[in-house]
Amino acid sequence: MGENRWKVNEAAKIIDESSHVVRHWMKELGQYIPTKKGENGYNYFDDEAMDSLRLVQRLTRDQNFSIRQVEHYLATGGKEFAAAAESPSAAQSEEIRELREMVEKQSELMAALVTRLDEQNRKSEERAEQRDRVLMKTLREIQERNRILLEEKNDRPWWKFWGE
């Protein structure tokens, strides 16, 4: 047997992916990745299977395809997917236009919300500052009263303290 054969973890190292990712691809796209089952039950990748893995990797990593898009691409040989990507239908164009309008409205709404939150925050800070001024004034008044009471107490002769 002169052909190359690699187990899942070996194939994953060769294409610089984790073995979990390769197993996931095998689970979802197994019919498009031609592996060979060994007598021990392991999946072995030959050169053709490695080419398929590299294609899946390129589509998912470089072109940001989802697994479903990769499956469709592989099922149609890439022809239908490319044709659909070139010219969107009228319904798709309308949906894109509607989505853009919705995004624009949401952006306007978010800007209005930010403005309202800023105003509420400013009012809240003003109320907190006013509360702090009242508290500080009250504290100063209490301290002044205590100082006056202490001075009155200290103005009495020392022998009068024993009579209390």
DSSP 4: -
Average pLDDT over residues 128-154: 92
Largest Cα–Cα distance of the chain, in whole Å?
118
Residue 160 has pLDDT above 70, yes or no: no
Percentage of the chain with pLDDT > 70? 88
pLDDT in tens, 58-102: 999 988 898 999 999 998 887 766 555 556 678 888 888 899 999
Q: What is this structure's pTM?
A: 0.49
Q: How many CA within 13 A on the CB side of residue 43?
A: 19
Q: How many CA within 13 A on the CB side of residue 72?
A: 12
Mean pLDDT value across the chain: 87
